[in-house]
Amino acid sequence: MDNSDLINRFRGALLGLAIGDALGTTLEFQPKGSFAPISEMIGGGPFNLKPGYWTDDTSMMYCLAHSLVRRKGFDAEDQMKLYCKWWHDGIFSSTGSCFDIGNTVKQSLTIFERTGEPFSGSTRADSAGNGSLMRLAPIPLFFHDDFSKAVHYGGQSSKTTHGAIEAVDACRYMSALIWGALNGVSKHDLLDGVYEAEEGYWSKHSLCESISKMIKSGEFKNKSADEIRASGYVMHSLEAALWAFYHSDSYKEGALMAVNLGEDADTTGAIYGQLAGAYYGEYKLPFEWVRKLKDYHVFYLKAEELKQVV
């Protein structure tokens, strides 16, 4: 893959995540079927945001990306320090303050501030939320030349705030998919069974049963929108994102399918958006949505930094 195509996909992944987040915030917390579907980025929602303003998904993604760049590698402690700066001081927030933070994230950051332990995510099964999956994109971007590291550190990036096995393995597998999309793998190959860039990788580094079953069965391919949930549970989020990616032929079509599921719409949009953005690239994102995105230029800059850091 030439350099121009790769940076196009880097930009697509970061912008795609942020756009999905900003698009979905309008419908956040609304039950599926209780609203008129949206077709444009209009803002509003529970936080009454201006069109193009993002939520915690993008703020935490930017914290993660900034840490990878400034530390020139994976540094869990530095990531947690930046998450805390966002929480307390509003850095990398679209509004300048932290107006939305998940309970699992807040609990983990509280533990980190008290103990200094960066891997503070609860391992309880009932804590398998989507708060680590929503911010994941910078990991496979930074490790775009090493599949094994991309998958490994995808999981490690979850453990800082979400240590439940389903959350960790959802991040590991999504990191693999984004890695493949960055490297030009076709949608068919990404979604046809369990994708792996290294033969036998998952037999050596197995996924938990629930994630493995979902991917191997491919049941999401045959489900209707009525059968897809978009709650804060990571298994629902992963399935919803893959469903929207599979059933669409463009970033815009899939993004609208994802967010119009309602419930945790901004996060479903962000999770879909990072994968679809890496796959389609920045050139194929709706320009009117890119232009409307708050401070959209910072995502171009961070994509360049992530690619160039050594």
Binding-site positions for Mg(2+) read: 55-57, 264, 266-267
Residue 138 burial by CB count (10 A; 0-12/13-18/19+): exposed, middle or buried? buried
Separation between Cα atoms, residue 296 and residue 305, nearest integer Å? 15
CB environment 77-96: b (16+ within 10 A), e (fewer): ebbbbbbbebbeeebbbbbe
CA contacts within 13 A on the Cβ side of 252: 12
Is the separation of the CB atoms in 85 and 91 below 8 Å? yes
Give how far Cα 25 sits from Cα of 46, 150, 222, 271, Å. 8, 29, 27, 13
CA angle 241, 247, 253 (to 5 degrees): 80
Is the separation of the CB atoms in 273 and 20 below 8 Å? yes
What residues are designated binding site? 55-57, 264, 266-267
